[in-house]
Structure 1
Amino acid sequence: MTSTRTVTVAGGQLAYTDSESPVGPALVLLHGWPQTHGCWDQLAVLAAPTHRVIAFDLPGIGDSAGLHTDGTKHQIAAVLHEALVALGVAKAVFVGHDIGGMVVYDYIHHYDNAARAVILDAIIPGIDPWDQVMANPRLWHFAFHATPSLPETLVRGRELAYFSHFFDPLTHPDHLIPQARQKDYAAAYATPAALTAGFDLYRAFPADSEHNRKLKACTTPLLYLRGAHGIGKATTNLSTYRDGLAVAGNQAVTAALVPDSVHYLPEENPVGTWRAISQFITD
């Protein structure tokens, strides 16, 4: 991947890296919380021989810190679309992890330049089993992050310690995210604006849920992936997520598990994650 660069959109600059590979369709990668585009580094190396790989920092975070949105995935998808038009990307495969997966879900329902889409270990607001998952006490942080001002007050200056609480338990013990990488992520959220932008992603969930429930049918082929070691800890199973997406109007949904991974699939098992994505793209 090249060094980080920026593309001008309404309201500021969106940061991204670009392999500039001249072959294959573009592969657009969106990270989750509390990460940056760096979570895709290993997978991008695997994909670059056959795809132009473009990995973005979400608005307000990392090198996109100067770009503000309201945190709704619909607004972020609009920013992403504007950026891709500016970059001349006419057709792409969209891959999103966690919050990035929520953005991908919105994107494919509103824009026609998605050839295929992949969502990695994300719960889509408003789509079954959203209500069931929200009742799981293990996801206490959803409500905490949505509280006005409080998470900023308690986390500011302690980003690494707080983020590690999520990284370490939600990663396969044999494939932990290195401390150096965790420090990079903490630094990317260390400014007041970036920290708030991250929590605003959660504050927008009620609006996201209402929006998603009103969406119409979508014909974009969609692959839903979860970590094989993570799904065992969940209160739901893989078919529940697949069926929820299908009932919501996604007409071509498949689902699979990535071995040796819990939640951070592209970093825990980049080879296995890319294998699943590549097979889906080429089928």
Structure 2
Amino acid sequence: MARESTLSIDGLTLSYRCAGDPGSPWLILLHGWPQSKSIYDPVLDELGKDEHAIAFDLPGIGGSVGLPHGPSPCELHALAGLLLRAAESLGAHSIVFAGVDVGGMLAFAAAREHGARIAGAVIMNTVIPGVAPWSRLIAEPRIWHFAFHAIPQLPERLVSGRERAYFDYFYELLAGDKHALTNEIRNDWTRAYQRPEALKAGFDWYRALESAAQRNASPVRIDTPILYLRGDAGGRDIDDYVEGLRKAGAANLRSRLISGSGEFLPIEAPAATCEALRAFRAEIGHAA
């Protein structure tokens, strides 16, 4: 049965939910926008049968309190390093770093910048800043919100107090099975962003995308095993994403398309998501 707790690091409080034996290999699970750690509730106990699965609320979101500080607090590679250190402070080892949406961007950052400390990375349903098809994708009219969210302060002013209505637009747009995103789930995720700090934290991720794109535009060899997962309901060609990752330096890459799911794989296709994560671990082993 999943357990909930918090830890303190760098003056922040991070909330997490975990399942499984801490002596087993670790699986770090990160959510995206506008979600919280509860996106992994349908899979956490099942994954905990084989690994120590831990799902964090990203800094400032939900039960996590406080925003990162320093010269580049919102940079994706710095945030990935923070979360990796947080897990290591709990005794994490043989780590697979996995995430949906922004969480997938963080998983890529972990593989690119901190690869010697992890056994593998799983990127789910996202495009990586600066990595093809990034430039083409952000030019699409339906991806208008990337530019809007990057504007300082304005998104907070317009969305505050209207979070559920605003978020519902994206839930409807991105879900393959809209009924899987129940009213309970949507309310839970909305509450996770209702504090001003939380709303700012979510938009700050978008404000960091341009610098992440510039960083990732310079290929480096990434030997860390990477799995790219995507639901097929979005209608996008997974090969475009896989080829982009290869050109960005991913030397040990595989991919998998999950049928009948959109953006929210752990909720829309929990069994297939668990099976894909287990198969990846079996293939790569435990060594970092």
Please give the TM-score of this superposition, normalised by the length of structure 2: 0.92
SS of residue in 1 equivalent to 2:63: helix
Q: Give the C-alpha shift of residue 68 in structure 1.
A: 2.9
Contact 1:23 1:50 (C-alpha < 8 Å) held by counterparts: no
* Correspondence 1:108 to 2:106: no
Counterpart Cα distance in 1 of 2:129 and 2:270: 26
Relative to structure 1, the CA distance from residue 58 to residue 215 in structure 2 (aligned partners, 3 Å threshold; closer, same or farther) is farther
Give me the identity figure in percent.
40
* Correspondence 1:28 to 2:28: yes
Amino acid at match of 1:152: E
Match of 1:56 in 2: 56
Counterpart Cα distance in 2 of 1:140 and 1:174: 21
Number of equivalences: 279
Match of 2:146 in 1: 142
Contact 2:110 2:121 (C-alpha < 8 Å) held by counterparts: no
SS of residue in 2 equivalent to 1:4: strand
Match of 1:38 in 2: 38
Contact 2:22 2:91 (C-alpha < 8 Å) held by counterparts: no
Q: Give the C-alpha shift of residue 194 in structure 1.
A: 0.6
Q: Give the C-alpha shift of residue 59 in structure 1.
A: 0.9
* Correspondence 1:195 to 2:196: no
Relative to structure 1, the CA distance from residue 193 to residue 174 in structure 2 (aligned partners, 3 Å threshold; closer, same or farther) is closer
Contact 1:101 1:120 (C-alpha < 8 Å) held by counterparts: yes
Counterpart Cα distance in 1 of 2:136 and 2:15: 35
Q: Which runs of 5+ in 2 are unaligned?
A: 284-288
Amino acid at match of 1:114: I
Match of 1:222 in 2: 226
Counterpart Cα distance in 2 of 1:61 and 1:212: 26
Match of 1:126 in 2: 130
Counterpart Cα distance in 1 of 2:81 and 2:38: 22
Q: Give the C-alpha shift of residue 23 in structure 1.
A: 5.8
Counterpart Cα distance in 2 of 1:114 and 1:88: 13
Q: Give the C-alpha shift of residue 116 in structure 1.
A: 1.4
Contact 1:71 1:202 (C-alpha < 8 Å) held by counterparts: no
* Correspondence 1:94 to 2:97: yes
Contact 1:13 1:67 (C-alpha < 8 Å) held by counterparts: no
Relative to structure 1, the CA distance from residue 61 to residue 22 in structure 2 (aligned partners, 3 Å threshold; closer, same or farther) is closer
SS of residue in 1 equivalent to 2:144: helix
Q: Give the C-alpha shift of residue 270 in structure 1.
A: 0.6
Contact 2:130 2:217 (C-alpha < 8 Å) held by counterparts: yes
Contact 1:14 1:67 (C-alpha < 8 Å) held by counterparts: no
* Counterpart selection for 1:75 from 78, 84, 102: 78
Contact 1:32 1:100 (C-alpha < 8 Å) held by counterparts: yes
Amino acid at match of 2:112: H
SS of residue in 1 equivalent to 2:161: coil
Q: Give the C-alpha shift of residue 215 in structure 1.
A: 5.2
Please give the TM-score of this superposition, normalised by the length of structure 1: 0.94
Amino acid at match of 2:264: Y
Counterpart Cα distance in 2 of 1:83 and 1:22: 14
Counterpart Cα distance in 1 of 2:56 and 2:42: 15
